[in-house]
Structure 1
């Protein structure tokens, strides 16, 4: 399950690796219409190596991605959120752990009733993507050395 979460989070950030699927049919489309009937500007992608389908769309003035398995079950949702909307404990942990880094963007990822924040941090020597729980525990997902 952790692999699916990481694939879904990475997929939301890196749209280039998807095969376009249009239109999606069957249980996946039926589930999507039931869950997000008010969605606008829906674009579908297939994440072949994970057996998932991603719908990216506008929903109540927010861009959102929803991930479905082949049986039509909603696996996860993801959306960009403002750094000002991070839970206070996440903000505190990032400031204490990475004081030399600046928050660039935040993806809120919800799966199995659990929320994770994927935060891109930029520093002078390196950039990081850290995963954070709402309680503030952090783990490095990816580290990139900046070119001098």
Structure 2
């Protein structure tokens, strides 16, 4: 069983997946900071700082008007926190857009590198003449055979 576990861990796919998860966690922190610290404030400028996080409906129970979401939940009332859901959807769309743009940029750089590698190397020597056609080769062989027999 230990040997099987060692073989499983030693496979390249498992190691690639582990590296991907670690890089993904670090990348998540970068994207989250980009969204929270840079993009959301800019969007807030255009929307007048609208934040739906504390918007909710009271389904049952008593909650005083103007009470925050956390206090309303602590009061024991049944709360429909639609604002938090709206903000989660907005944040998801922003994160998805940022990831899309980053992946598109990485692919563009990767494609440029592949094209650069695929470009032929130009040399200063003249190109070799194209090989003779089959008809010319057959004619040359015929003539050589005639000279031999003559």
Q: TM-score, normalised by structure 1?
A: 0.24
Q: TM-score, normalised by structure 2?
A: 0.24
Q: Which structure has greater helix proportion?
A: 2
Pick 1 or 2: higher relative contact order, CA cutoff 8 A, min separation 6.
2
Q: Which structure has greater strand proportion?
A: 1
